[in-house]
């Protein structure tokens, strides 16, 4: 992969190039931004170029042929140290950062960084999920950040930089990464050969919130089926809460084998609902703007305003549900309560008319 292959993030990449040209690259960087948008790809390209032994010190291009570049591509570079949260774990264990028990101070990232480089001019550490360090690990890591060994560059990656210790944040130069544009996600989905149909790629991209990892989940047609099912139900004249809740639940459970996956399905469902009502708002706003000021159809206008207000309330209810973060959430109960509220909001409106 080369810099030119990266989609999006051109400003951030240019800032890194400029810093290297001026020989002003900070020894600790913090790449912050939503997950699944390519922060790690940029970090790896930066690391590879900084480790390359053929390029000049002011040029951030890896030669692709030297021993360092080859070793980097093989994932065996002794001077590129990477740590990340282990699969299925919520925290980055202290063992990876500073060693544990008898090994404290004699293994882990901080120790490895204190050693001299073996193949390249410097050592690079990539700390993914940096905000997942617990206080003990963060404090151990802080010492390394405060007294860096010369010729080390630490790249921390975080989707929740506010969760980092302020003392850590203040010792890093933060580079903020933005979500990708929908068109960029569609382009990536095609380029990665995840789908070959551009319309499907655009549909996935529109739902992905600018995140490739979310787009990856939407490749599964069952998520898109869930969305179709929800949208059909929400468009129906009458919302039959009980039956509809049971159908949706069945569809979600066919996707989810445990409570965590069920919660994931639930958050997708809410995201689809938010999208549904946002689309409806856009449509209504367009309808309203079509009424000319001299239009002699006051009923039409007021009807449209009423629907606009109702849709806003429905959207608010979905957003409220989406903002609830509860690990002990009972999906089935929440689903029913939410649909009941939606049905009630819709009934209230019909009664007014
Ligand atoms: Zn090279």
**Å from CA of 44 to ligand 1 middle:** 13
**Å from CA of 31 to ligand 1 middle:** 24
- Residue 295 has a pLDDT of 57
**Angle at 337 (CA atoms; ends 334, 342), nearest 5 degrees:** 120
**Is pLDDT at 330 greater than 80 in this prediction?**
yes
- pLDDT (tens digit, 9 = 90+) per residue, 8-52? 999 999 999 999 999 999 999 999 998 889 999 999 999 999 999
Highest-confidence segment of 276-280, 326-330, 335-339 = 335-339
**Å from CA of 49 to ligand 1 middle:** 7
**Å from CA of 16 to ligand 1 middle:** 18
**Is pLDDT at 296 greater than 70 in this prediction?**
no
Whole-model pTM: value is 0.70
- pLDDT (tens digit, 9 = 90+) per residue, 70-123? 999 999 999 999 999 988 788 899 999 999 888 888 999 999 999 999 999 999
Rounded mean pLDDT of 272-282?
A: 88
- Residue 235 has a pLDDT of 92
Which tokens belong to 271? 């995201």
- Residue 278 has a pLDDT of 87
Rounded mean pLDDT of 178-187?
A: 93
**Å from CA of 65 to ligand 1 middle:** 5
What is the layout of strands, in order, in the sheet containing 173-176?
80-83, 123-127, 152-158, 28-32, 173-176
Q: Hunting for tokens 């949208």 — which residue is that? A: 231
Alpha carbons within 13 angstroms on the beta-carbon side of residue 326 total 11
pLDDT band at 327 (very low <50, low <70, confident <90, very high): low
* Beta carbons within 8 Å of 127's beta carbon, 6+ residues apart: 82, 83, 84, 92, 109, 141, 154, 155, 156, 157
**Å from CA of 161 to ligand 1 middle:** 32
**Å from CA of 157 to ligand 1 middle:** 24
Alpha carbons within 13 angstroms on the beta-carbon side of residue 54 total 11
- Residue 349 has a pLDDT of 60
**Å from CA of 29 to ligand 1 middle:** 22
Nearest to 32 by CA among 43, 21, 18, 44: 43
pLDDT band at 343 (very low <50, low <70, confident <90, very high): very high
Average model confidence (pLDDT) across the chain: 89
Lowest mean pLDDT among 8-22, 281-295, 308-322: 281-295
**Å from CA of 174 to ligand 1 middle:** 27
Residue 237's CB: how many other CB atoms inside 10 A? 5
**Å from CA of 11 to ligand 1 middle:** 24
Lowest mean pLDDT among 30-39, 243-252, 253-262: 253-262
Rounded to the nearest 10 degrees, how much is the dihedral formed by the CA atoms of 93, 96, 97, 100?
80
**Å from CA of 17 to ligand 1 middle:** 16
Burial letters 313-327, b for 16+ CB under 10 A, else e: ebbebbeebbeeeee
**Å from CA of 73 to ligand 1 middle:** 10
Lowest mean pLDDT among 16-25, 166-175, 324-333: 324-333
**Å from CA of 238 to ligand 1 middle:** 64
**Å from CA of 348 to ligand 1 middle:** 68
**Å from CA of 54 to ligand 1 middle:** 5
């Amino acid at each position: 992969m080369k810099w030119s292959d990266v989609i999006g993030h051109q400003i951030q990449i240019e800032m890194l190039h400029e810093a290297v040209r001026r020989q002003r690259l900070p020894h600790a960087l913090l790449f912050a931004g939503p997950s699944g948008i390519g922060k790690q790809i940029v970090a790896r390209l930066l690391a590879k170029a900084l480790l390359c032994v053929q390029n000049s010190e002011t040029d951030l291009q890896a030669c692709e042929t030297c021993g360092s570049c080859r070793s980097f591509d093989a994932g065996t570079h002794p001077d590129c140290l990477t740590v990340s949260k282990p699969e299925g774990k919520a925290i980055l264990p202290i063992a990876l950062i500073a060693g544990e028990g008898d090994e404290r101070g004699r293994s882990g990232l901080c120790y490895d960084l204190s050693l001299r480089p073996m193949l390249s001019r410097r050592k690079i550490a990539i700390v993914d999920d940096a905000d997942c360090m617990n206080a003990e690990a963060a404090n151990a890591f802080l010492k390394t950040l405060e007294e860096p060994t010369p010729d080390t560059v630490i790249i921390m990656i975080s989707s929740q930089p506010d969760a980092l210790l302020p003392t850590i944040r203040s010792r890093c130069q933060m580079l903020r990464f933005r979500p990708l544009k929908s068109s960029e996600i569609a382009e990536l989905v095609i380029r990665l050969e995840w789908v070959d149909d551009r319309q499907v790629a655009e549909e996935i991209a529109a739902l992905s919130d600018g995140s490739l990892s979310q787009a990856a989940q939407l490749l599964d047609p069952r998520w898109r089926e869930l969305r179709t099912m929800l949208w059909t139900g929400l468009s129906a004249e009458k919302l039959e809460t009980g039956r509809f809740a049971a159908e949706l639940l069945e569809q979600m459970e066919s996707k989810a084998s445990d409570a965590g996956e069920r919660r994931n399905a639930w958050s997708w469902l809410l995201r689809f609902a938010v999208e549904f009502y946002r689309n409806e708002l856009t449509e209504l706003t367009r309808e309203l703007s079509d009424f000319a000021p001299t239009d002699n159809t006051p009923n039409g206008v007021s009807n449209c305003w009423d629907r606009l207000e109702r849709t806003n309330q429905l959207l608010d209810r979905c957003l409220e549900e989406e903002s609830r973060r509860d690990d002990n959430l009972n999906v089935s109960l929440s689903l029913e309560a939410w649909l009941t509220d939606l049905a009630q909001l819709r009934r209230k409106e019909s009664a007014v008319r």
